[in-house]
Amino acid sequence: MSRFRRPFHFPGLIAIVTVSLLLCACGSLRYYAQAAHGQEVFFENGCGACHRIGGTPAQGVIGPDLTHVGSRHSLAAATLPNDAEAFARWITDNQHIKPDNLMPPFRQLSAPDLAALAAYLDGLE
């Protein structure tokens, strides 16, 4: 009998860790795919005519610069928290949230397009 012990062998644990990592990666990939679609929605709906996002063709000057909007503490002059849900509320119902602001409400966006646009804006850090 050998004096050396066999190293631990946990094939079940390795499988669980591998599957967990793959699921996390898939979730991240879905988020990035959604945000990429959100960027398309941003440009297809003319948002860049009013807003600037550094490093993109969006060079508008009427609305706020959105280059790092995802890293701000709040939205709409501290009216809303900074998260994807608040972005979606602002995009569709901004006149109710902050009357007489310059942005028109974009209620024509489908729910998936709105969620994608909100994810894109939330990711602009």
Question: Is residue 2 domain-resident?
Answer: no
Give the CATH number of the domain where residue 83 resides. Answer: 2.60.40.420
Question: Is residue 4 domain-resident?
Answer: no
Question: Is residue 41 domain-resident?
Answer: yes
Q: Which residue has the higher pLDDT, 90 or 30?
A: 90
Question: Is residue 87 domain-resident?
Answer: yes
pLDDT score recorded for residue 13: 54
Provide the CB-side half-sphere exposure for 17 (13 A, CA). 5
Q: Transcribe 63-100 into DSSP letters.
A: S---TTGGGSSEETTTTEESSHHHHHHHHHHHHHHSTT
Rg of the chain, C-alpha, whole Å: 22
**Number of domains making up the chain:** 1
Question: Is residue 3 domain-resident?
Answer: no
Q: Give yes or no for residue 20 having a pLDDT over 70.
A: no
Give the residue numbers spanning the domain of 15: 11-122
User: What are the tens digits of pLDDT across the range 49-74?
Assistant: 999 999 999 999 999 999 999 999 99
Task: Measure CA 57 to chain center.
Answer: 19
Question: Is residue 1 domain-resident?
Answer: no
Q: What average pLDDT does this structure show over 81-103?
A: 96
Question: Is residue 114 domain-resident?
Answer: yes
